[in-house]
């Protein structure tokens, strides 16, 4: 009996631990299930949050793309407008440059033409440097020989050495048609072989001041080219006013030299002169033309 009893008690004792183990397993299973449910819920929440964040990001990206497209369109419009404006300005500049280039070409052409004219004028003036022009000799008074008449006139009116050979090569009226009787006579061009003789004649003429033959006043001057004559005529009114005031003057080439009391001054153009009543004190004497 003791043996059975012991075995019986031993069986009971082995059954009890099995029941406890089962309960523990159930509790553990419930705990695991709860944790799994919690994990699933947490996972769903995180997934929902992630989905929401992704949608926001995608929307922001779309908005940014739209804004960039709008900005790009405005920027392209500005670039196109600026390009048109720059092209217009460049066209204007090109037109102005072309106009300036044409004006420079015209100016260069005028300068070249003027240089050529000055060279021709210089050559013409050199060809006339031994000539003298005589004004005031009545038409026909020279007779058949103008050369002989001029030599006789010079020797009779000027104090020239008897042995001075004037060496007049030719003398003739200016090559224009004969004027009517009431008009001023044509001038006479006298050509001397030597320039020094011509200068001596003019010095003697200006020293005497006035040469009169009968009722005619005879004037002598250099034989200037037409362009020089035109420039010298610009001083005519000034010379007349200076003569009235008794102011001595000279007109070398295209200038005018006015003699004041203390000094003299050369003016290179008529526009640089003051009116006679505004000038300084005269130097006295008569004007030399």
Q: What does the pLDDT read at residue 281?
A: 45
Report if residue 79 sits inside a domain.
Answer: yes
Q: What does the pLDDT read at residue 254?
A: 81
DSSP per-residue codes, 144-197: T-HHHHHHHHHHHHS---TT----EEEEEE-SSPPPPTTSPPPPEEEEES-HHH
Check: CB of residue 201 under 8 Å from CB of residue 179: no
Per-residue pLDDT of the chain (289 residues; tens, 9 = 90+): 444 444 444 444 444 445 555 566 656 666 766 666 666 555 555 555 555 577 778 778 877 777 777 778 888 888 988 888 899 899 999 999 999 999 999 999 999 999 998 899 899 999 999 999 999 999 999 999 999 999 999 999 998 988 999 999 999 999 899 999 889 999 999 999 999 999 999 999 989 988 998 899 999 999 999 998 888 888 888 888 888 888 888 787 788 888 877 787 777 765 555 544 444 444 444 455 4
- H/E element, 250: strand 249-250
CATH number for the domain including 275? 3.30.250
Q: What does the pLDDT read at residue 9?
A: 47
Domain-ending residue, one of 174, 192, 223: 223
Report if residue 118 sits inside a domain.
Answer: yes
CATH number for the domain including 139? 3.30.70.1820
Domain-ending residue, one of 71, 93, 126: 126
Question: Within this chain, do residues 255 and 285 fall inside the same structural domain, yes or no?
Answer: yes
Burial class from Cβ neighbours inside 10 Å (0-12, 13-18, 19+) for residue 242 reads buried
Number of domains within the chain: 3
Question: Within this chain, do residues 253 and 197 fall inside the same structural domain, yes or no?
Answer: no
Q: What does the pLDDT read at residue 15?
A: 45
Check: CB of residue 225 under 8 Å from CB of residue 185: no
Report if residue 12 sits inside a domain.
Answer: no
- H/E element, 258: strand 256-259
Q: What does the pLDDT read at residue 258?
A: 85
Report if residue 9 sits inside a domain.
Answer: no
Domain extent at residue 109: 56-126
Domain-ending residue, one of 193, 223, 253: 223
Q: What does the pLDDT read at residue 115?
A: 92
Report if residue 37 sits inside a domain.
Answer: no
């Amino acid at each position: 009996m003791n043996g059975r009893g012991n075995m019986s008690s031993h069986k009971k004792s082995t059954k009890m631990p099995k029941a406890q183990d089962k309960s523990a397993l159930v509790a553990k299973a419930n705990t695991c299930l709860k944790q799994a449910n919690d994990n699933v819920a947490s996972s769903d929440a995180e997934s929902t949050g992630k989905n929401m964040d992704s949608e926001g990001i995608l929307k922001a990206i779309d908005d940014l793309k739209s804004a960039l497209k709008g900005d790009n369109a405005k920027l392209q419009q500005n670039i196109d407008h600026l390009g048109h404006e720059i092209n217009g300005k460049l066209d204007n500049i090109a037109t102005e440059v072309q106009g300036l280039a044409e004006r420079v070409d015209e100016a260069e052409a005028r300068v070249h033409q003027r240089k050529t004219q000055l060279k021709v004028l210089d050559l013409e003036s050199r060809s006339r440097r031994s000539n003298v022009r005589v004004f005031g000799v009545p038409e026909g008074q020279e007779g058949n020989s103008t050369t002989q008449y001029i030599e006789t006139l010079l020797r009779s009116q000027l104090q020239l050495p008897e042995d001075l050979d004037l060496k007049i090569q030719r003398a003739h009226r200016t090559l224009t048609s004969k004027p009517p009787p009431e008009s001023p006579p044509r001038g006479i061009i006298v050509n001397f072989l030597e320039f020094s003789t011509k200068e001596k004649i003019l010095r003697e003429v200006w020293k005497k001041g006035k040469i009169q033959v009968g009722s005619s006043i005879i004037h002598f001057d250099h034989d200037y080219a037409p362009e020089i004559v035109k420039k010298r005529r610009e001083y005519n009114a000034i010379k007349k006013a200076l003569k009235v005031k008794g102011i001595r003057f000279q007109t070398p080439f295209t200038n005018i030299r006015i003699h004041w009391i203390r000094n003299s001054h050369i003016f290179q153009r008529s526009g640089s002169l003051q009116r006679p009543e505004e000038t300084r004190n005269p130097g006295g004497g008569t004007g030399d033309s």
